[in-house]
Structure 1
Amino acid sequence: MTDGKAGATRRRLAQELAVVAGFEDPRAPLEQYHTPPDLAAHIVHVADLQDDIEGRTVVDLGCGTGMLALGAALRGPNRVVGVDIDPAPLSTARENEGRVGAMTDVSWVRADATRAPLCPDEDVTVLMNPPFGAQTGSEGADRAFLETAAEVAAVSYSVHNAGSEEFVEAFAEDNAGEVTHAFAAEFEIPRQFDHHSEESQHIDTEVFRIEWT
């Protein structure tokens, strides 16, 4: 696929995901931020180009209102599972499924994504935007999500704070994984919690593709 066609396909996916509603009452301890449609489209598009979605089971750990799960559902997987501990965003995710109109059904599971009740017997692709561990008491929260990915996935895509490359690569190496792709991405966070002082903030993030064995 040429760069022009790839870019157009990614932009079209971002437009389709623009209807996905965010959190009605986001919880700061869970770092519930709406994944931007452009970022979700970029991740799903890269996964699609790597043949990591079509015909496979895709799991979104900490799915929130379903942005990554629904993006994957538009790219021909066998099935999609969204896992989140909070029932409120799962309810919104079900509504978003109707808005997006994906042909693939999505199972929305209320569970702790770091102890996901999954026993897959086929290759699984995990897509996730885990908590970065920015809140006091939640430091290293993304590690627990990576541990789950290492247990259930053949390949995973995850979003982390910029500067996480050394940590992610070391974790992958220690858990029979290998980082095969990494790319920078900007994440816009709107003002939604009391500790936010600006209307919106852009933070630099990195996305990593890991193959697990």
Structure 2
Amino acid sequence: MATKSALETQLAVVAGFEDPRADLEQYPTPPELAAHVVHVADLNGDIEDRLVVDLGTGTGMLALGAALRGPSRVVGVDVDRTALTTATANRRRVGTKTSIDWVLADATRAPLCPAEPTTVLMNPPFGAQRGNEHADRAFLETAARLADVSYSVHNGGSQEFIEAFAADHGGAVTHAFRATLSLDRQFEFHDADSEDIDAEVYRIEWSGGDE
């Protein structure tokens, strides 16, 4: 298994959004965070020889990270066609030969019904935009339907919500760790050139993912 730092180096070539949309909260997943999430998932046996689904894949960072760790195949789902075009180009930059399908669809209504062991990786919207509150809830609902295990990035202070949601949907949080999202200025309403956001990553085992 390649080291986490080697994976981060491989993902450093992934290009960001050409024209990010604020309504979709299109912030790039930093390569160091993606490498950490994928590495932890791999150590837990949640990548190799499994289907990996990246919900809200954006430019493909998590999907491509997983593709470098020996899954059976990878599916990246996103509603933004332009982002998927960038993800396709990023695959060429990263150079992975793993089968990847880019699916143009609402990730919260992903047209998938996997019959094989499935891991969901996702960095869903935090719901920071007005009218988009609790946006991550719909992503979690989809993960509960598709997968038997998921890894998701959430806003800091989400533990009570995540644990309660998992319990209500036949799941259980098995791992949690803190992370920092270092985001460059992307939208006009941003005041600073960059900002560090406290985040949390959760591994959830779902009992109904294969049903």
**Distance (Å, rounded) in 2 between the aligned partners of 1:12 and 1:136:** 38
Q: Please tell me whether residue 128 in structure 1 is matched to residue 129 in structure 2.
A: no
Compute the displacement of 1:105 (Å).
1.8
**Which residue number in structure 2 is paired with residue 17 of structure 1?**
11
What do residues 3-38 of structure 1 show as CA deviations (whole Å, max 9, x unaligned)? Answer: xxx9x8111100000000000000001000010000
**Distance (Å, rounded) in 2 between the aligned partners of 1:115 and 1:89:** 18
Q: Please tell me whether residue 196 in structure 1 is matched to residue 196 in structure 2.
A: no
Q: How does 1:11-160 map to 2 (within 5 A)?
A: 11-160=5-154
What do residues 115-167 of structure 1 show as CA deviations (whole Å, max 9, x unaligned)? Answer: 00001001110000000000000000000000000000010000000000000
**Distance (Å, rounded) in 1 between the aligned partners of 2:117 and 2:168:** 21
Aligned CA RMSD, in angstroms, stands at 0.9
Q: Tell me the TM-score normalized by structure 2.
A: 0.97
- Give ranges in structure 2 of 5+ residues lacking alignment: none
- Secondary structure at the aligned position of 2:132 is classed as coil
- Secondary structure at the aligned position of 1:159 is classed as strand
- Secondary structure at the aligned position of 2:42 is classed as helix
**Distance (Å, rounded) in 2 between the aligned partners of 1:34 and 1:130:** 11
Percentage identity across paired residues of the two chains: 69
**Distance (Å, rounded) in 2 between the aligned partners of 1:96 and 1:194:** 26
Q: Tell me the TM-score normalized by structure 1.
A: 0.96
Compute the displacement of 1:68 (Å).
0.1
Aligned length in residues: 207
**Which residue number in structure 1 is paired with residue 171 of structure 2?**
177
**Distance (Å, rounded) in 1 between the aligned partners of 2:169 and 2:15:** 35
Q: Please tell me whether residue 168 in structure 1 is matched to residue 157 in structure 2.
A: no
- Give ranges in structure 1 of 5+ residues lacking alignment: 1-5
After superposing on structure 2, the runs of 4+ consecutive aligned residues of structure 1 that deviate more than 4 Å are none
**Distance (Å, rounded) in 2 between the aligned partners of 1:56 and 1:36:** 24
- Secondary structure at the aligned position of 1:158 is classed as strand
**Distance (Å, rounded) in 2 between the aligned partners of 1:136 and 1:190:** 21
